[in-house]
Chains A and B, each alone.
Chain A
């Protein structure tokens, strides 16, 4: 694995390999007094975030630090980006400084693909090699989020193949939904997208999933339900009439959560809008795995860095 740009870079074996590595890293760290593995000592990992993010950036940074990599954080504010430097120049500058890995979040879909293309072009000229990790590009993908969701589901449900996973909400604007649909399908799950037609992309019928507008009808058959964040501003684009109507039709209330089977898990990629897409009591209930997702995020990102920079273990 050279870069991680999209979950479609991963077949089932590669995805399971990453999840297994994440498990092993978690075991290795359990009960250690000093939570640090020497694996990536001397390697430089740069996070380059063009969008505000707390959990993803911190999660990558901790992952790098626990692996003993030197981590540097660059944000669009306070760097030469704010002086009008192009994405290409910024990324090549970081490569030239010796970054082994650049983790990028950017509001433009495909930004990580472009970075990888520039890095590869540069590598043929200079012989230096920089791996690119997509930490969220526009409305395209967020591969490590899907991997940490898969890790969480595997923990809670024991397996992913054959399980039915519902993804609810703003699929149209969600990179989390895209990465999850394709990764979960690769891992053998049955995915159901539940959203009003305005929040589903044209062309979704070609995705490896089923689509349903009715949340109540789907809940009893789900092994897990993933609630997507809904931005209240979306109602200005006439995607839905009001926050209240959205909550009434698609919010995971106590009554709705009661329709789920006993074993079913509730996921949310965060940040949550409590009271809109999810009731606080559901978010804090034992079936919610929201903090487990965050914990798994660090291990999954350690695994990604490990496979990219040290090579996947045989």
Chain B
């Protein structure tokens, strides 16, 4: 299975080159190459070639939430969004807190074959925060779990978090924390501040995130463990992260596309499509997120892709489940918020969407350089094209996108996973 990409610009730099791929590996790279016989040819016409995107944070809902998403529909959305690896959070039903469930998710992902699906294991049994799950068994299972998280809930108990970090350090895996002090967010519905107070929505204080991140950084330092902070949303959390990184703590952090773009000003309609955990915050926060991502204090962009069927979203605000789709809009939001304003170049996009996430989780064949001998795992991007988001047209089973009707820049033209085209021109290529 051979592939020939004609006239593309790796990382959006320099003159266009041709890329020859055979058996999943880049075999030639340069100007004026010849397509091997029988190779599928993509005429890239100056489009930007990037390493395939790696998403450290998605919810694929299978098993148990198939009315909202399945591993298959989520994989299709991932491929169309330029992703070649995703990390599926364990808050399924049953919870992915044991080898059986993580192996199921991993196997289903491989069967679908559109994207590498890496199950994230739960830190505690049943996500209940009380008893450590069998991290070692999951790490050594066929699913080869690299990351553990109770995402959706915080590992609130400092002793459990300490033990998890200590235990994880010997397994060389990452603990990803959903940083939210549940005592401070009891009943919370929206970012605490001017908008929530006017709308009568119980406030979700930024301190609930900041204090947990500060505590966890202290615990990770002592345990010499790798800590990953999920979906940073508040300005002051960035100061905590910067200080911890300067002190040598092994901490990484992600920001979601929606926390780069959207603010709580969107809440005045009470449409729960804008309800998400952590909540949309203020314009000052989105500005700080962008700056921190450019600076590298925030390492990666992760979508927190969270599909919810209409019955969970078309309700009154308080009854709606938090979360929004993200896989197919991530690149466009990143282009709109970071590339177009000059905060990030295409090298930077490759770093935050591919190289760093692969590095954090130790994936050997993702986020690799575009060079001869490296895996042919790419996203080919048209930076000039624009498109209008329509939830109903997205590949996910659910359609809860907060970007409905928005016109966004940046289109993923093709996605390639180890030499196989998984999506091209908006169509998924089933294996």
A residues within 8 Å of B by Cβ? 86-88, 106-111, 113-114, 117, 137-141, 175, 178, 201-204, 206-207
Contacts and interface: CB of A to CB of B under 8 A. Distances in A.
A64 B199 CA distance: 28
B314 interface: yes
B387 interface: no
A87 B198 contact: no
Contacts of B199: 109-110, 140
A140 B199 CA distance: 5
Given A88-B314, A109-B318, A137 B200 contact: yes
B270 A139 contact: no
A86 B196 contact: no
Contacts of B189: 109
A106 B318 CA distance: 11
Contacts of A117: 269, 271
Contacts of B314: 86, 88
Given A108-B317, A111-B316, A138-B318, A202 B203 contact: yes
21 contacts: A87-B319, A109-B199, A109-B201, A109-B317, A110-B317, A111-B317, A137-B200, A138-B318, A139-B201, A139-B202, A140-B199, A141-B200, A175-B200, A201-B196, A202-B196, A202-B203, A203-B194, A203-B197, A206-B197, A206-B198, A207-B197
A203 B200 contact: no
B316 A202 contact: no
Given A108-B319, A141-B200, 17 more contacts: A86-B314, A86-B315, A106-B316, A109-B189, A109-B200, A110-B316, A110-B317, A111-B317, A114-B317, A117-B269, A117-B271, A139-B200, A139-B202, A140-B199, A140-B200, A178-B200, A203-B198
A88 B269 CA distance: 16
Contacts of A207: 197-198
B270 A110 contact: yes
Interface string B289-326: 00000000000000000000001001111110000000
B136 interface: no
Contacts of B311: 86
B192 A203 contact: yes
User: Of B192, B193, B316, which is in contact with the most chain A CB atoms at under 10 Å from its CB?
Assistant: B316
Nearest to B189: A109
Contact of B197 (A86, A175, A204): A204
B336 to A, nearest CB: 27
A204 B318 CA distance: 22
Contacts of A87: 315-316, 319
B315 A202 contact: no
A87 B194 CA distance: 27
